[in-house]
Amino acid sequence: MRPRTSRAPSTSGCEHASHPGVGAAYALQRRALSLALQVILLGCGAREAAAQPPAVEFAPHRDFATGFQPISVAVGDLNGDGRLDLAVANVGGNSVSVLMGDGTGAFGPTTDMPAADGPHSIALGDFNGDGRIDMATANYRSGNVSILLGTGGGAFSPATQIPIGGRPYAVEVEDLNADGKLDLAIANNGANNVSVLLGNGDGTFGARADYGAGDLPTYVAIADLNADGKRDLAVVNGNANTVSVLLGISDRDLAVGHCGGRSERGRHPRSGGDGLRSQCRLGTAEQWIGGIRVPGGLPHGAGTPRPRGWRHQR
């Protein structure tokens, strides 16, 4: 007779523990339950962590030399080596400093180049589409904008000047009319307006268009503020405690013009901007490009023919 083995009472209350198959299944169930609980707890922890804003901390500052009285800084890869560099406008030195980055957060030495009188703001962009970063400064004492084109290796061409007037305090770069060419928006502290210069794509810019703002504009920002796909402007007015918002209203098939000595609003079936530009080239006092007014510069001509397909609107 085979001896009977005695079995101790289960302390777990499970009478299947001594059965090999049932015990394995039970162990698997417990493991699955444990894993599920861990997943739930981890999920809760992740949600709690997500609810907390991530901490941010900075190392002590390191200082790098610039020109005299730096007042504005922009960041970009100025020499095309894949490492970010710094461009600084020196309002007291009438110059721009460029400081090449080594990729570790160290910069310099500084290279200074002349801008104009009182560069108060600097912005970067590839104005001529050659893949090299170019620079623009707003010079409040000389009343102009300096353009310095990148020539490779972190070098720049001598500054060319675009007259603006009205103490330009700030310049921003963006493709305002969505033609693939970068344009300039300039806050003019002394003229209570903002100037727009459309880029020609070769490092030059078209005639200036001015739009009124508040009292003593000091800065301009560019964004699509009403999500209609058109760039808008926000200008802060230092003496009015206000910010002026100028919504972009240009459109490929809608433009507002002041051609032939009177205001006209019309729709062109193909391209309002191109149509009006063609129209104004035939001889009017003002031209509109992409819905942006470009005053002066063209001879006034009576009886200016309308572009083909032009229809007046009220």
Which residues of the shown chain bind Ca ion in the complex (CB under 5 A)? 77, 79, 81, 83, 85, 126, 128, 130, 132, 134, 150, 175, 177, 179, 181, 183, 224, 226, 228, 230, 232, 248
CB of residue 99 vs Ca ion: minimum separation in angstroms? 10
Looking at the Cβ atoms of 216 and 255, the one nearer to Ca ion is 255
By CB atoms closer than 10 A (0-12, 13-18, 19+), residue 163 is exposed
Pairing between β-strand 183-188 and β-strand 168-174 as defined by DSSP bridges: antiparallel
Rounded Cα distance, 141 and 119, in Å: 8
CB of residue 260 vs Ca ion: minimum separation in angstroms? 26
Joined tokens for residue 74: 């922009």
Write the DSSP assignment of 244-306 as a string of letters.
EEE-----SSEEEE--TTS-EEEE-SS-HHHHHHHHHHTT-SEEEETTEEEESSS---TTPPP
Pairing between β-strand 232-237 and β-strand 254-257 as defined by DSSP bridges: unpaired
CB of residue 303 vs Ca ion: minimum separation in angstroms? 31
Looking at the Cβ atoms of 112 and 179, the one nearer to Ca ion is 179
DSSP state of 6: P
Rounded Cα distance, 188 and 33, in Å: 68
Rounded Cα distance, 81 and 102, in Å: 9
CB of residue 277 vs Ca ion: minimum separation in angstroms? 13
Looking at the Cβ atoms of 83 and 252, the one nearer to Ca ion is 83
Looking at the Cβ atoms of 38 and 151, the one nearer to Ca ion is 151
Rounded to whole angstroms, what are the CA distances from 14 to 4, 11, 18, 56?
21, 8, 9, 53
CB of residue 276 vs Ca ion: minimum separation in angstroms? 16
Looking at the Cβ atoms of 112 and 264, the one nearer to Ca ion is 112
CB of residue 256 vs Ca ion: minimum separation in angstroms? 16
Looking at the Cβ atoms of 150 and 272, the one nearer to Ca ion is 150
Looking at the Cβ atoms of 34 and 151, the one nearer to Ca ion is 151
Residues 221-239 as b or e (16 or more Cβ within 10 Å = b): bbeebeeeebbbbbbbbee
Looking at the Cβ atoms of 14 and 249, the one nearer to Ca ion is 249
- Residue 201: count of CB within 10 angstroms of its CB: 15
Write the DSSP assignment of 76-140 as a string of letters.
E-SSSSSS-EEEEEETTTTEEEEEEE-SSS-EEEEEEEE--S-EEEEEEE-SSSSSS-EEEEEET
CB of residue 176 vs Ca ion: minimum separation in angstroms? 6
CB of residue 210 vs Ca ion: minimum separation in angstroms? 17
